[in-house]
Each structure stands twice: as structure tokens, then as C-alpha cells.
Amino acid sequence: MKLRSEGKLTITEILNWLLEDQLISEKELKAIEQFSVRWENRNKELTEIICDYQSDKNSHLAKDFSNTKLNEWLAARLKLPLYHIDPLKIDARAVTAICAQPYAERFNILPVKVDDNAITIAVSEPFEREWELDLSQLHRKKFKRVYANAKDIKRYITELYAFSRSVEKASNRQVDKGQLNNLEQLVELGNSGDLEANNQHIVNLVNWLLQYAFDQRASDIHLEPRREHSNVRFRIDGVMHQVYQIPTAVMGAVISRIKTIGRMDIAEKRRPQDGRLKTKNENVEIELRLSTMPTAFGEKLVMRIFDPEILLRDFSALGFNQREKQLWSKMTKQAHGIILVTGPTGSGKTTTLYSTLKQLATPEVNLCTVEDPIELIEPTFNQMQVEHKIGLDFASGIRTLMRQDPDIIMVGEIRDLETAEMAIQASLTGHLVLSTLHTNNAPSAISRLLEIGVKPYLVKLTLLGVMAQRLIRTLCPDCKEKTDISDEQWHNLVAPFVIKKPESIYQAVGCNECRNTGYSGRVGIYEIFQNTSIIQKQITDNCDANNILKLAVKDGMKTLRLSGVEKIVAGISSVEEVLRVAPASMDS
Ligand SMILES: [Zn+2]
């Protein structure tokens, strides 16, 4: 096929290529052509029209295409590598210096990578090559063309140029004033009245970062000052990703802006501070918890994102299977007793607790919490925050709640004897108490309680059960591949249990959709331990955690590892991920 060297791609051209490659019939070609001239399709991208034709209720194609498939095919036909624009991988400052925004918009081209001797440009119009001459005169470098979706190019031209303009203007402002302090005053002024124009750039930058973080499903935003250029990193599915580098002076202004809206003391930079702020993403209120820390190059700020849609979820979405749902629901429907959720920080305990409480919080019950800090404000709960300054800790918090005629009490964490004793007191007087504890598996919660000094007979009497949990990454549905596992590997994975090896399992590969990690999203794995009469007999002053674990397993408890194995069998996660996250079922 000969490719011409000017003019725009047309729908007829693409349809004829599809016909040549026997992907559509002559009849289908005519039908799509007719569809494409409809008024509602006038501004659509060519591949989009073909996809929309397929979803039109009066039409169907013998061979189905997704937009991704169609773009893959088209790029191959044009003999250009297909490029997926990932803003996290693009150096916004470097690429926007290649050409001005109006120029990029005119040809719908986006520089995506700048190397020492070559510049990579994403194009959607392969035959329009005028720009190549202009830009090569300007830059004296080789140009590599890659094909990208026209809509994506348009969107990221707007976004990346706006971002780098904000950084640049904020930097210039810096040079004008010479000092960081001046800018900080501006930020403060801005908050109390109208925003001054120059301050607006910092505001834009902050809005930008937040929007990006939400789009990328980040759980945390890290702002890390360094000598000249400071780092912005996101944590996505538990793994850190470098996002941007911005001048350190600008970073200072960005951090000050966030501290201002988080009602923190912006003058104080040597003392670590905490704060919180609320914002909206697509009309969902999102809470951010802020924490600063003084470092060698200035103040570092971490924003933890609390999306209520993530904190409050349906149990199936959390990864509970039918049996786990039943067990957990039976346990949490008791009128009194203590239920504990255990696991390390970041294992999803809060999500489980909030989601559970949300189901229990009917108009007929009084549900109170004492938390440190309150992670999500839920209108159906009565939430109280621990305040050490005035002596309001977990233990005294429970004491206060007890006078509030509660039915259900949630205590953020049990970490000392006083809190444990108050929780037991509450349980003995007819209340349901939910809390968290730091232990590796569910049965060792018993030995942990005994260690901090709780009397064995009180544990026996009040503890209903314990759920241990972890979060494992789920395989990216776009790239996961079938793989084999040897009998020995399988045996080691499930030991000491005997479980039939599945016909096939999946492994992580990596593609554009999952930024080459092979994973996208996370799901919980659970170990639900019930304090049955058999177990209760074992709770003594010198009881052995391992022994309790063995008894629980014999009694039908499914370990964390086995819960992970279920996710492997279901093709949701990989062997590597389960081995990484879930501890072995038993030591010996
Ligand atoms: Zn993938």
C-alpha cells in the first residue's frame, strides 16, 4: 500500500482498508458510510464512528471491534507504532517546550518524549507532515512519529500545556519576588479574599494534582522537596509512581497552599503537622488527610485520599465470598460481644469496619464511634475524635459513649489494657463492640489480648470472633495470561491443606491499561475466626497461639492464604501476589 503525504484521513479510506483486510463486507462498508454522514456524528473521530455504528441498535457487524482493537489495527495499517498516552510518563515541561499550544492544536500533534537526539510526536493524522519541517528546523533533532487516538491527543494537549503553564508562571512569580515568603503571604491572602491573579497559578496547580490523583485512582499523593526539582509521586494499588518534577520553590508554594486550605499553620515548617481537607470529584465528596514532615530540603507533605465510595462498599465488592459474608454477618448481628479486625496498616481494616457499621446503622440503633482520627464522616454514625490534648483517649472515649445510651460502639484501635478493659466492660453490659488490633493472623488476637493483660476468662466470655485481612492486587483484565504451575509449587502454596490444582491459572503481564504492572485494583482476602466453645476451653494464662490456630483450622476456619488461593483459582489474582501478601497458613 502506498501512503500519500498530505491531507486528512477519511472514513472511506479507513473503510476500504477494513474491506481489503476482510474485516468488513461491501454491504457493511456502505452502511457505515451512510451512518457516518449523520448530523450527530459530524464531530466524532473516525474510529469512534465505526465503534458507535456497532452499538447502534439497528446495526451489527459480522466481526466486532473495540476502539482499542480498531486503533491497533489502524496503527499497523499506517505502519506507525501505536502509542498510549500516559500523562504519568510524560515530562510536561520538556514536551511543551517543543512547540506552542496553538501549533500543537492546529495539527493535533503532541510531543510525548524528548531524548538527546530524537523527539517522539504522537499524531492522529498520519498524512499531514508539514509540521515536521517546521519543527526540525527549530530543534535540529530526529523526529519519531507514533500513532495515538485523536481524542486522547486533543485532551492531553489541553491538560499538559495548562499544567506546564501553571508551573512556569508560578516559577516566574518566584523570580520576581525573590523569596518564598512573599508567595506564601499571597496564598494566605488569597484564601481570605479574592485570589490574586498570580496566586491563581498555584491554585490551578493544586487542583490539577488532585484531579490527576483521582483520575489515576491514587490512594496517596506525596510531595517531596529536593535541592532543585521536587518530586510528586502517587501511590496506585499500593505501589509508588513518579508523576512530576517541579521546581522546589514552586513546590514550597504548592505545599503552603495545601496547608492553608487544610487549616494548618503555614508559618510552622519544622514541626510535623496534621490536617484534613475536603474536595469534590464528580460530585462525590472526597476527604484528604494531610501530614507534613520536615526533611533536609524542606517540608514534605503526604495527602491520603479517602474516597467514600472506596471506604463504604458492598461486601461482594470488598472480596467476600458467600460463606464469608454469612459468617461475618452472623457475627456482627449479635447483640453484645467484641469483634476485632486485624491486619497491618493499609490492609483495608477501616473500609471493612465502616462498611460493616453502615449496614448495622439502622434508625433503631444508636451507633457511636471513638476514632483517631475520624477517617470518614458518616451521617448515620455518632462519631467522636480522640483528642490527646484534653485527655480524651480511646478508654475515656468509651466511658463517655457508655453514658450516651449506645447499642453499638466502634473503637478505632485497642492498644492498651485500659482500652481493652473498657471495651470488655461495654460488652459485658450488653453492647456490641467493634475494634481493630495489630496481629498477623486472626487467632493470635487472643494471645495479644492476654499479653496486654486482659484476664483469660474475660476474653473467653466477651470475644465473639476476629477477622484478619489483607489487600491483594487484582490482575489487569486486559493483559492477564494463562500459565501453568508445577504440582510442587501448588503444594507449597496451599500446604498444609490439600486442594485440587485448577486446570489453569493466570499470571501478570503488563500493558498500557495497567501501566505495565500487570495489575489493576485490589481486593480483600479474609480469615474469619470464631471463638467457639472448643476454642474457649483453650483460652488460659499460658495458651499457645499456634495451638489455637490449629484448632480453629480443624474447626473449619479458612486461613488468609487459602482465601488468596481462592482468588488465584478464580483467575482474579496471581500466585506471586498471594505469596507476597498472605502469610503461610501455618508455621510448621
Ligand atoms: Zn494490563
Domain, as residue range, for 429: 311-473+523-559
Q: Give the Å distance between the CA of 572 and the centre of ligand 1.
A: 13
- Check: CB of residue 266 under 8 Å from CB of residue 260: yes
- Is 357 found in the same domain as 268? no
3-state DSSP of 116-149: CCEEEEEECCCCCCHHHHHHHHHHCCEEEEEECC
pLDDT tens per residue, range 310-363: 667 788 888 899 999 999 999 999 999 999 999 998 888 988 999 999 999 999
With cell 486550605, the residue in question is 261
506 Cα–ligand 1 center, Å: 12
The C-alpha angle with vertex 68 and arms to 65 and 74, in degrees rounded to 5, equals: 80
DSSP classification of residue 389: G
User: Are 543 and 403 in a shared domain?
Assistant: yes
Q: Note whether residue 573 is domain-resident.
A: no
The answer to whether residue 178 scores a pLDDT higher than 60 is: no
Range of lowest pLDDT (48-62, 105-119, 409-423, 430-444): 48-62
DSSP string, 61-90: -SS---HHHHHHHHHHHTT--B----GGGS
User: What does the block give as the cell for 574?
Assistant: 496471581
For the chain, give percent helix, strand, coil, nearest 5. 45, 20, 35
**Residue 465 belongs to what H/E stretch?**
strand 463-475
| Residue 59 within a domain | yes
pTM above 0.85, yes or no: no
Over residues 360-382, mean pLDDT: 90
**CA of 214 relative to ligand 1 center, distance in Å:** 19
Question: Residue 297 contacts by C-beta under 8 Å, 6 or more apart in sequence?
Answer: 225, 226, 227, 230, 248
How many angstroms is it from 379 CA to the middle of ligand 1? 38
Query: What distance in angstroms lies between residue 455's CA and the mean position of ligand 1's atoms?
Result: 51
Rounded to the nearest angstrom, the distance between the alpha carbon of 481 and the centre of ligand 1 is: 10
Query: What's the CA-to-centroid distance between 521 and ligand 1, angstroms?
Result: 11
Same domain as 461, residue 379: yes
Check which CATH number belongs to the domain holding 235 and give it: 3.30.450.90
Asked, for residue 486, whether it belongs to a domain, the answer is no
- Verify that 295 and 348 share a domain, yes or no: no
**In Å, what is the CA distance from 15 to each residue of 31, 59, 61, 341, 403?**
10, 16, 13, 58, 75
pLDDT score, position 129: 86
CA of 64 to the centre of ligand 1 (A): 21
Q: What is the pLDDT of residue 587?
A: 65
pLDDT digits (tens, 9 = 90+) for 237-267: 888 888 888 888 788 888 988 998 888 998 8
pLDDT of 3: 60
Of 58, 77, 96, which closes a domain? Answer: 77
Give the distance (Å) from ligand 1 centre to CA of residue 83.
15
- Alpha-carbon Rg for the chain, nearest whole angstrom, is 29
475 alpha carbon – ligand 1 mean position (Å): 8
Same domain (yes/no): 407, 337: yes
- Using a pLDDT cut of 90, give the percent of the chain over it: 48
Q: Are 402 and 548 in a shared domain?
A: yes
| Boundary-marking domain end, from 30, 49, 77 | 77
Instruction: Tell whether 445 and 550 lie within a shared domain.
Output: yes
Question: Which pLDDT score, from 0 to 100, does residue 216 have?
Answer: 82
CATH of the domain at 407: 3.40.50.300
pLDDT at 2 over 70: no
- What is the predicted pLDDT for the residue at 76? 93
Q: How confident is the model at residue 175 (pLDDT cuts 50, 70, 90)?
A: very low
Average pLDDT, integer, range 18-42: 88
Binned at pLDDT 50, 70 and 90, residue 181 comes out as very low
293-302, 303-312, 488-497, 504-513: least confident range: 303-312
Number of domains present in the structure of the chain = 3
For residues 406 and 456, membership in a common domain is answered with yes
The answer on 380 and 255 residing in a single domain is no
Assess whether 73 and 21 both reside in one domain: yes
Return the pLDDT at 187.
35
Of 103-117, 237-251, 402-416, 524-538, give the lowest mean pLDDT range.
237-251
Q: Is the confidence at residue 500, as pLDDT, over 70? A: yes
What average pLDDT is seen over the chain?
86
Instruction: Select from 38, 60, 77 the last residue of a domain.
Output: 77
Lowest mean pLDDT of 161-165, 199-203, 424-428, name the range: 199-203
* 45: in domain: yes
